[in-house]
A and B are shown apart, each in its own frame.
Chain A
């Protein structure tokens, strides 16, 4: 019964400290408390280097927290779970596989038969608009096309938890709006829970149900804002609504301070 009532993701006082090459401990994130409900779209914003990517690796099971607990579906995370999808900040498509083969990789790794995997991969390639490119190798694609391959490769696994680390930051403004709309459509169809990391406050408001603002590093959750804009949304249109601007101002007053702290620290380090 707990399975149906427990939230999709829960962080309870989670923290992560890395051991640096010199042997010292570097705290990346600390005392994280965060809940993501089933089917909820949560955006995470925060200054650069504060620990957003680290938070996602904790949820994915790629890294273990050094403090506190991380729960997915009510169970503590132990290793990499089967229903997590992760779109990485850096390019992570396999350069020696063709586009089609890249998208087939997930199902194939999970033991799906070749013909079925190919069918599903073709379906997703069509949805991200890359059907004509299935025989290309990644180095023959543009940065935006590669990102779309990564999206298709993640979605083809049908993850119920979707972690996205600045997936659109490499895209131009028009493609980004297009992809954002596409993402909302895809998400509405799957009912998965999303944690979406971004630098772009506008993007986070346009997409999410909840925007989490993190403090300057070592990060913890500073404030959580509920976005009460009606769905379905079109990102280009929602931006123009008065309520959007209001929310933007409210969140920026919180986020801007952390960004300023980080920037001052950076110049202090440089001096």
Chain B
């Protein structure tokens, strides 16, 4: 901000004038977009609250923003029936992160291996396709039977959800490596191992990162569904209990909390990505 205002204060020559005008236009647009965003949010929440209070929609089923806010506040200040809210968030986050890390590690490892070694791809290819075609979320009850009420069953659900998108992207990434780069590395003296680590993996990282974004969402889903089916703590259990006591505000409140957690994780990932991909040209107009 300050540099532009300084430029504006001076009697500017023609080109700087134009630059300043453009900067101002950009700033105005940003303000406009953000203002409209806030307006949309306020309108949706306001209408919701208004409809619920006037009885256009049933507040028992649909709740209303003020009640949801009260619920979050109560949980934050006095804890939930299952214990402090922080512990619930942490339980879910722990399961999701654990499952995510395992799923990502397995997906990247196997994806690169199958992408690099033709024989492995030919042998395991059909099985991977079959497993991917199954609706894996139905495995959650089976994991509950296998691993019990503790975190292990949720971690397992998260792993099977995370694994496949990561695997397929890593596999594709390893397959689509520029043949010229591989040829160049080999001419320069790289062994097969070096080609894998110094050419294939770096060029597959942008593919892998694309899948990391969506797969953390999947990990959360795995953990939540697992908790919902049977657990001793976690946000999924919070949803299940709220539903059991016909507390719709509780269900919505849990959703809001989850959304915040997911967004925070996404932000963290983007930060890491920015550091890792300094070598990439910034696409004009592209903004994540």
Contact = CB atoms under 8 A, between A and B. Distances in A.
A153 B180 contact: no
B187 interface: yes
A94 interface: yes
A92 B183 contact: yes
Contact of A88 (B183, B203, B278): B183
A252 interface: no
Contacts of B281: 139-140
A92 B183 CA distance: 9
A126 interface: no
Contacts of B181: 92, 94
A85 B187 contact: yes
A85 B189 CA distance: 10
A90 interface: yes
Interface string B172-192: 000000101101111111110
Interface string B225-236: 000000000000
A81 to B, nearest CB: 9
Contact of B279 (A60, A85, A91, A95): A95
Interface stretch (A103-111, A180-188, A222-230, A255-263): A103-111
A80 B188 CA distance: 9
Measured as residues with beta carbon below 8 angstroms from the partner, the interface class of chain A is: 20 to 34
A82 B188 contact: no
B280 interface: yes
A90 B191 CA distance: 22
Contacts of B89: none
A84 B281 CA distance: 32
B20 interface: no
B27 interface: no
A137 B180 CA distance: 18
A204 interface: no
Nearest to B195: A109
Given A92-B180, A96-B203, A109-B194, A84 B187 contact: yes
Interface string A170-199: 000000000000000000000000000000
Interface in A104-140: 105-106, 109-110, 137-140
A140 B279 CA distance: 9
B199 to A, nearest CB: 7
A96 B202 contact: yes
A85 B188 CA distance: 7
Contacts of B190: 105, 109
A90 B180 contact: yes
B124 to A, nearest CB: 24
Contacts of A105: 185, 188, 190, 198
A62 interface: yes
A109 B189 contact: yes
19 contacts: A84-B187, A86-B183, A88-B183, A90-B180, A92-B178, A93-B184, A94-B198, A95-B279, A98-B279, A105-B198, A109-B189, A109-B191, A109-B194, A110-B189, A138-B279, A139-B280, A139-B281, A140-B281, A157-B189
Given A86-B183, A105-B185, 13 more contacts: A88-B184, A90-B180, A92-B181, A92-B183, A94-B185, A96-B203, A96-B279, A98-B279, A105-B190, A105-B198, A139-B279, A139-B280, A157-B189
Interface of A: 60, 62, 80, 82, 84-86, 88, 90-98, 105-106, 109-110, 137-140, 153-154, 157
Closest 10 CB pairs of A and B: A92-B184, A109-B189, A106-B188, A139-B281, A110-B189, A109-B190, A96-B279, A137-B279, A92-B180, A86-B187
Interface of B: 178, 180-181, 183-191, 194, 198-199, 202-203, 278-281
